[in-house]
Amino acid sequence: MSDCLFCKIIAGEIPSNKIFEDEDVYAFHDIGAQAPHHFLVIPKQHIATINEADDAALIGKLTLTASKIAKEMGFAEEGYRVVMNCNEDGGQTVYHIHLHCLGGRALTWPPG
């Protein structure tokens, strides 16, 4: 999608601090980090919200990629949170699904 921020990041039109990339997903550090470790895992395919997602394997791959990166970055054992926001009331601001992974500090609940 030509006006999507994350599609532009995937295409290399907007720089990002990339952590991981394969044929299906792209992971990069969040520029508005809410924890010492905060990165996003996104599908390369444009899907606006989780409501439009129909590929369970792809959605699972987002989660498994976050887990793999958390282990590689050394904070998996202490704990971390993964979350996907959906639509305005859910806190979604970029309409290209993305999984947040946050760690490196004790996280509280409810998040807000």
**b (16+ CB within 10 A) / e for 54-69:** eeeebbebbeebbeeb
Residue found by looking up tokens 């793999």 in the block = 68
Distance of CA 27 to the CA centre of its chain: 7
Active site positions, annotated: 98
